[in-house]
Each structure stands twice: as structure tokens, then as C-alpha cells.
Amino acid sequence: MRIDVRGQNFDLTPALEAYVERRFLAALGRFGKRVPHLTIRLSDENALKGGVDKHCRVEVTMPRMRSLVVDEQQADLYAAVDFAADRTSRAVAREIGRRRAKRTAAAEVRAAEKTGVGRRAVATVG
């Protein structure tokens, strides 16, 4: 997995960059080669004024699937990274599940057309 970390409106320290890479590798490592590239943009909108203005924007590129974008805003940059990593992990899992469900449904339709037998109905007890 290639992770590209960029900082806007502030200097990106090596410690912060290492933290971001470690956090996203832990959150998305289970997906292996399905997530080959991440672009993470960290920004501080108000700079010295303070407030809830730290952004972490994550763009996930997956082959043969649509790209995902997660945007998180918090008062602390490390908290924004943590929330964004969790949300990105859930979004990738959801997208992979949707892709798997479509493939399964298409395979069932092809099998039904080939054999001439429809899909089995689920019996309910009641």
C-alpha cells in the first residue's frame, strides 16, 4: 500500500507523518492489495486562531471499484486522523461487500439461466 501524506497551511513533521502512515496501515492492512494507494491531506484552516479547524481528507483508490473520499474535521489533528482512519476502514469494507454481493447475485442469475431453475425461495416459519 502506497500512502501519500500532504500537509496544507502548516509544516508536516516527520513524527506526524509516521503516525498517519502507521494508523492507516493498521486500519487498512487487512484489505491487502485491494487498496493500493491512499492520498491523505492534512490541513489547518484557521492556523493560529484555533477552533475545530483541523481537517483530514482521505482519497482511496481501488482497482475496478469507485474511489472513496473521507473527510473528517476535529479540534485536534491526531483525533481527526484517528476518526478518518476508522471511517475509511468501514467505507472500504462496505464497498468491498457491495462488490462481492453484486458478483454473487450475477453468478446466481447466470446459473439460473444456464440450468433453467430459478433461485430457491426461503421458507418462513410462522
Taking only the tens place, the pLDDT of each residue in 55-77 is 999 999 888 888 899 999 998 89
Work out the average pLDDT over 39-68: 85
Domains in the chain, ordered, with CATH? 2-115 (3.30.160.100)
Residue 103 clears pLDDT 90, i.e. is over it:
no
What CA–CA distances, in Å, run from 4 to 62, 99, 113?
15, 26, 46
Work out the average pLDDT over 5-32: 92
Percent of the chain with pLDDT over 70: 87
**pLDDT recorded at residue 51:** 64
Lowest mean pLDDT among 52-56, 104-108, 116-120, 121-125: 121-125
**pLDDT recorded at residue 17:** 94
Confidence band, pLDDT 50/70/90 cuts, at residue 50? low
